[in-house]
Amino acid sequence: MEFPQLLALVRSGDELAWESFVRFYQARVFGLAYHYTTQAEDARDITQDVFVRIYQNLVLVPDEPGCLPWIIRITRNACIDHLRRRKARPPLWDLPADEMFDLRSTEQNPEEAHLESVRKRMVHRALQELTDLNREIILLKEIQGLGLEEIAAILEVPVGTVKSRSNRARLELAQKLSAVGMGG
Amino acid sequence: MDEPFLSPEAALDLTQAILARTSGSPCQRLQDLACAFLDSELDTDQTRLIHSHLDHCPACSALVAALVESQEVLPKLVEVNPGPWFSQRILRATVHQPLPPGFDLSRAWKKLMHRPRIALEAAYLGAAASLMGIYLPIPAPSFAVKVPALVQPLSASAHRVAGRLVQVERRTTITLQQRIAPLEIIREGTQTAQGLWQRFFAGLRTWLPPFRKAQPSSAKVETTKIEEKKPQPANP
């Protein structure tokens, strides 16, 4: 089914269409929230809030080209709010970041799947060591695949700034990975 | 016989020694160009120079290899499996809610009325309207003013609406008087309100363009009179 038809059905209140919509976007939204918060349970709560917010504002959901950036923007705002709240009122004890061993993998071979999982975990850890700004640029550009203009609109900075910061962020990440022996 | 100056290690050492005493290490320059190099944004000459440097600099080779690997892995992090029952959790949180309507006037009105400062704002508006009604000088319209053709239909509609409002006002007043006649205080209040209401409509009547259409016959007579007063040119 084409996206505009799916969206029309969702807006009309079709529960099956809404379920399909949720299943289509949930891993993506959860992935973004997880990379922002590094806590799986927090990411689940944020993802749920994001979908509730989308459901309550179905009339505002843009059509196909703008839908994903719109959802990413909502998720990012929710993550930033969450991180601000957490910073203002930190938990009594800080649990170590969850290790998502079930990062989605398309590899069928168990050995390859394991290697892939290790590589993803290493990149994920290296991402957490980046500065907030660099991590955000990597999340939006390299992971979510947004264009420079879309990122510039979300972050409210010029396109040239996004481009230069993106190069700096990629380089910083590569240096972290190189330091732990990845890519050698 | 062994020739140490021709070995790769020796040549590398020599190059680094020369660069250290001249331009400095080119590694920083490579880092500046690494992303553009991987994105194929450099021209052939620059690409060749970078390949040449990478062949001799293990640190930069490792950096570029890490960049390549991160480029491969990062897009795969886009989706993370949140768990087997997560969809059900989202659906439970959303589907059982009623679908929000597109626009509901009563909901919007309730929302407006629930604003904490609505009473204060209403008081301000009421006071401002009263002051304007009392002190604002309303210019008396001249009946000789010609209403443009475009405005005439609007003016006629406004008059019709005003007339209708007067009728409604009269009916409302009569009904109110019948129903609340026993209460003297309220009756007085009604009379005051009626006075204000009539004053408002009197002001509205004077402010709007005239109810009656301009009288073409009188205008014509006046024009004729003016023409009559014009001095006739003397015959030569």
- Could you report the per-residue pLDDT of A32-90, keeping only the tens digit for each? 999 998 888 899 999 999 999 999 888 888 887 889 999 999 999 999 999 888 877 76
Dihedral sign for Cα atoms in the order A177, A46, A59, A155: negative
Query: Which of A13-17, B44-48, B188-192, B226-230 is predicted with the least confidence, judged by mean pLDDT?
Result: B226-230
**Which range in A35-39, B10-14, B212-216, B218-222 is most confidently predicted, on average pLDDT?**
A35-39
CB-closest option in B64, B70, B86 to A44: B86
Whether pLDDT at A101 is above 60: no
Residue B3: both structure tokens together: 């020739």
The residue behind tokens 């509901």 is B104
pLDDT of residue A106: 53
CB-closest option in B74, B87, B102 to A138: B74
CB contact under 8 A, A123 and B74: yes
Percent of chain A with pLDDT over 70: 89
Confidence of residue A3 (pLDDT cuts 50, 70, 90): confident
Percent of chain A with pLDDT over 90: 40
Percent of chain B with pLDDT over 70: 66
- d(CA A118, CA B216) in angstroms, rounded, equals 95
Residues of A in contact with B33 (CB under 8 A): none
Residue B50: CA count within 13 A, CB half-sphere: 23
Q: Residue B195, SS3?
A: helix
Q: Residue B149, SS3?
A: coil
pLDDT of residue A50: 93
Confidence of residue A165 (pLDDT cuts 50, 70, 90): very high
Mean pLDDT of the region B77-104: 76
In angstroms and rounded to an integer, the radius of gyration of the C-alpha atoms of chain B is 45
Helix A148-155 and helix A64-88, axial crossing angle in degrees, nearest 10: 40
CB contact under 8 A, B63 and A178: yes
Burial profile B125-147: b = 16 or more Cβ within 10 angstroms, e = fewer? eeeeeeeeeeeeeeeeeeeeeee
Residue type, A43: A
Confidence of residue B134 (pLDDT cuts 50, 70, 90): confident
CB contact under 8 A, A123 and B90: no
pLDDT of residue B17: 77
